[in-house]
């Protein structure tokens, strides 16, 4: 899976996992569960001594010097999240999908079929063959520019932001709401380019004080 540069804190456990079958003196402390903001990776990280993080905080986790993160402990599965982390995940995705709207609109404008029988659009909950054909036909006439425009031009389309959030959560869980395995990923771990000229400005990581 591609590496992340920035992430959002879902939960912070200053004393580590209380439910782990490890003596307290050996337990990894100052643990944060985070969501990568570009590839939606779920990770667990160790926070540096003398630093704290809070839910919803935007932190640097890339390869340069990290101000708050000492090291990445492991990749997480959805079920590894704390109950707080699971609640915060959905809230965090709501904010990310809104701020990252241009790249998802580009997905609607450019994504193609996965196989001769299955289009990527059909992997979004609520989109079947009819909506898929309506979207692909409409985008050849004029590219979409926003979620609002997609909803206005495609009749009876479910809420786009909710569709995307649900699909990301399915991919993180590995199963959909019916308990069926997720075979293909279209968002998690998949590079989604922004339209040219609409790329977000990358923040430079803060230099550590000596």
Supply the CATH number for residue 35's domain. 2.40.50.140
Residues 37 and 111 in one domain: no
Q: Is the pTM of this model over 0.85?
A: yes
* C-alpha dist (Å) from residue 63 to 42, 71, 74, 184: 17, 10, 16, 29
pLDDT tens, residue by residue, 135-154: 999 999 999 999 999 999 99
Residue 31 lies in a domain: yes
Q: Is residue 94 part of a domain?
A: no
- Domain assignment of residue 87, yes or no: no
Question: Quick one: 117 and 38 in the same domain?
Answer: no
Q: Please check whether residue 88 lies inside any domain of the structure.
A: no
Domains of the chain: total: 2
pLDDT digits (tens, 9 = 90+) for 160-209: 999 999 999 999 999 999 999 999 999 999 999 998 888 887 776 665 55
- Does 189 reside within a domain? yes
Query: Is the CA virtual torsion 115, 2, 34, 92 positive or negative?
Result: negative
- Alpha carbons 106 and 186: distance in angstroms, whole number: 13
Domain end position, chosen among 48, 80, 112:
80
State the virtual CA torsion across 76, 99, 93, 161 in degrees, nearest 10: -130
SS3 state at 60? strand
Give residue 112's domain range. 100-202
- Is residue 105 within 8 A of residue 150, CB to CB? The reply is yes
């Amino acid at each position: 899976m591609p590496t992340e540069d920035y992430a959002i804190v879902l939960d912070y456990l200053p004393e580590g996992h209380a439910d782990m079958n490890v003596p307290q003196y050996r337990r990894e402390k100052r643990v944060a569960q985070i969501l990568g903001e570009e590839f939606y990776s779920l990770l667990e990280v160790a926070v540096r001594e003398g630093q704290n993080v809070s839910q919803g905080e935007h932190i640097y986790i890339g390869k340069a010097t990290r101000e708050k993160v000492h090291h990445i402990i492991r990749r997480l599965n959805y079920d590894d999240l704390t109950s707080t982390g699971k609640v915060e995940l959905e809230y965090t995705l709501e904010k990310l999908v809104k701020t990252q709207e241009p790249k998802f609109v580009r997905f609607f404008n450019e994504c193609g079929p996965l196989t001769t029988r299955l289009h990527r659009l059909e992997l979004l909950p609520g989109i079947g063959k009819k909506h898929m054909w309506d979207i692909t036909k409409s985008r050849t006439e004029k590219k979409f520019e926003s979620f609002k425009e997609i909803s206005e031009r495609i009749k009876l389309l479910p809420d786009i932001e909710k569709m995307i959030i649900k699909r990301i959560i399915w991919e993180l869980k590995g199963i959909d709401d019916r308990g069926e395995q997720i075979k293909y990923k279209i968002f998690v771990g998949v590079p989604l380019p922004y339209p040219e000229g609409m790329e977000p400005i990358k923040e430079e990581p803060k230099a550590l004080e000596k």
